[in-house]
Structure 1
C-alpha cells in the first residue's frame, strides 16, 4: 500500500504532467536561425518572443553573464585548442558536471556506511584488504556511468546548451566533439567491464539498465528528455532507486551478508526517488528559453517557473513531512529520532525559506533555488548515515 507521502507527491507530479499535455505546443525556432553565437545575440524570432514575455531577452543575457566571464571562457577555449593540458583537464572536469559527481560520491559513501552499520559485526570481521579495493572500483564504475550519461547529453544538446549553458565545454568549444565522444565511449565501455568483472550478475544487469536509461534520455530517436514525464521517470529510476539499491546490495554481497530490505534502506530508496523526480522537474527552470527555441517540451516551458517551483517545493515538503511521520509512527527503535525527525524538519524549513526568496523573473534567483535543491539532496545522504 502506498504511503500518504508517496500518494500526495504522486498526485502533484501527475497533475503537473496532465497540465503539460493540455497546453498548446510552443513555437519552434530552427537551429539554423540562431546563428553562430546565439547566446551573445538573440535571433529575431526569439527576440520577438522574449520581448512579448516580459523581458526574457534580458533574462537570457543574465543567464550568460551569471554563469561565466566571457573573456575568461574565450581564453580557456584558446588554451584548450592550443593543447594546454591544464585547460583540457579543466574542460574535462566541467564535462563530468561536478554537481552530479558529488551526488554519486555521497550516495556511494552513505550507502556503504549504512550497509556496514546495518550488519552486526561487519566492521570487526570485514576483510578490508578485499573490501576497500572493491569499494574503490565500484565507485569508479559509478563515476564512469555518471560521466557517460552527462557526457552523451552534452554531445546531443550542444546547440541547445549554446543558449542555456554556454559555459559547458562542448557548447563553448573548450572540448571538441571528437574528444567528447572518446570520453563518453571510454566511460560507457570501461564502466560495464568493471561491474561485470567485480560484481554479481544482478548488479551488472541493474548497471546496464541505468546505462540504457541514461543513453535513451539524450540519444535520438527515443530521447526521453523531450517528454517531461518520461524524463522524470528516467532520472528518478536511476538516481532514486538503482543507485541506492545497487550500492547497498553491493556492500552486503561484499561482506557475505544476505540482502534484506531494512527499514532505513527502504526509506532512502522511496525518499530519494521522490527527490530525484523533483530534481528532474526543476532542472529545466533556468533553461526555458533555449528549450522553447529547440522544441524541448518540459513542464517548465509549459507552466512557467512560478508554478513549477511551487509544485516542486510542495512535493518536497510533503516528502519531508512523510519522513517525520515515518520517524514518529514507526516502531520505537527503528529510527534515531533526532536526525529522522529533527533533521528532516530543519531541511524542510530551509527549503521553505529558500522558496520564499525565489524571484521567478530573475535567472540568478532561479539558479540559486535549483542549487539549493541539490544542496538538500547532498544533505539527505549525510542524514541517512545517522537515521
Structure 2
C-alpha cells in the first residue's frame, strides 16, 4: 500500500515536471521560476519574412527597377511642363499622369527583362550575378514575367484611349524588341549606329508621348511645344544615347566572345569613355547656356546655371578618378550616370 502511494506521488511529480518543461519550451524562461511569454512560431514568421524579402530582391534585380524609377520620375516631371497654373493640378490631371506612368513603367520592365533573356549567355561572362545568369530564376520564370509585362503595357495603352500613349508604348515596345531579339535585320545592340538611333528614339518618343498626352488629352489645350519641352528633347536624347553606349564598357569580354561588334569592341574602352564624358559635358554646357539666355526669371536662371554647373563638376571629378580596367567601378559609375539623369528631371522645371 505504501509502495503504491509512493509510485503515484512519483508519477504525479513526473507529470508536473513534464508539464513545466513543455510550458517553458512553449513560452520560454529566463531563469528558474520565471516564465516569459514567447510565441512558439516566431522563427516561422522570421523565415516567411526572410523568404518574401529574398523573392522581392530577386524580382527587383531582374526587372532592373532602378531604371523604372527613372521612367516614373520622368513621366511625372514631363507631365508638369505643360502646366500654366496651380489650378491645372486637378484630380483629372493626376489620373491622366497615372495613365502614363503605369504603361511606360511596364514597357520599361518588358524591355530590360527581354534583353536579359536574350543575353543570358553573355551575362554569364560579363555579369554572372544577374538573376538569370546566376540561376535564381529559370528561363521559364523569366519568360513568364517578360510576357506578362509586355501584354499588360499594350493592353493598358489600348484601354486608356490616349493616342499619344498608345503610339508611344507601341514604338517603345517595338524598338526595345528590335534592340534585343535575334532576327534578321534586328538585334540592333550589335549594330552601333542602329543601337544609338534606337536609344535616342526611346528618349524622343517617351518625352513627346507624355507631353502631348498631358497637354491635349488631359488639360484639353492645343499642342504647343514650349521652350522647356524643346530643351528636354535635345538634352535627354543626348544623355540617353550616352547611357546606351556607356553600358557596354564593362561588357567587352562577353561581347567579344559572342562577336557583338559594339562601339567598345570596335574602338576600345578608353575612346568610348572619353566620347561619352565629352558629350555629357557639352550637354551640360548647352543646358547652362539655355537656362541663362531663355529662362524667364532671375531665380530660374540662377538655378539652371548653378545646378547644371554642379552636376557637370561632379561628373568631371568622378570621371578623372575612374579605373576603366575595373568593371565593378565602371558599373558603379554607370549607376552614377543614372542618378545624374534622374536629377535633371528636377532641374528642367526651372527651364521656363
CA distance in 2, matches of 1:185, 1:368: 30
1:144 to 95, 99, 106: 106
- Cα 1:87–1:365 change in 2 (3 A) is closer
> Could you report, residue by residue, the CA deviation over 1:309-344 in whole angstroms, capped at 9, with x for unpaired residues?
111111111111111222233375599201221111
Q: CA RMSD in A?
A: 2.1
Q: How does 1:1-387 map to 2 (within 5 A)?
A: 84-116=51-83, 119-120=84-85, 123-128=86-91, 130-221=92-183, 222-238=186-202, 240-252=203-215, 253-330=217-294, 333=297, 336-387=300-351
CA distance in 2, matches of 1:242, 1:338: 30
Could you tell me which runs of 5 or more consecutive residues in structure 2 were left unpaired when the two chains were aligned. 1-46
CA distance in 1, matches of 2:297, 2:56: 48
Stretch moving more, 212-221 or 360-369: 360-369
Alpha carbons 1:354, 1:372 under 8 Å: kept: no
Corresponding residue pairs, total: 300
> Could you report, residue by residue, the CA deviation over 1:329-377 in whole angstroms, capped at 9, with x for unpaired residues?
3375599201221111111111111111111222233223222211211
Distance apart, 1:115 and its partner CA: 2.6
- Cα 1:224–1:378 change in 2 (3 A) is same
TM-score (norm 1): 0.73
Distance apart, 1:181 and its partner CA: 1.2
Alpha carbons 1:358, 1:366 under 8 Å: kept: yes
- Cα 1:211–1:232 change in 2 (3 A) is same
Structure of greater Rg:
2
CA distance in 2, matches of 1:333, 1:89: 46
Alpha carbons 1:327, 1:335 under 8 Å: kept: no
Could you tell me which runs of 5 or more consecutive residues in structure 1 were left unpaired when the two chains were aligned. 1-78
- Cα 1:125–1:205 change in 2 (3 A) is closer
CA distance in 2, matches of 1:343, 1:185: 40
Distance apart, 1:193 and its partner CA: 1.4
TM-score (norm 2): 0.80
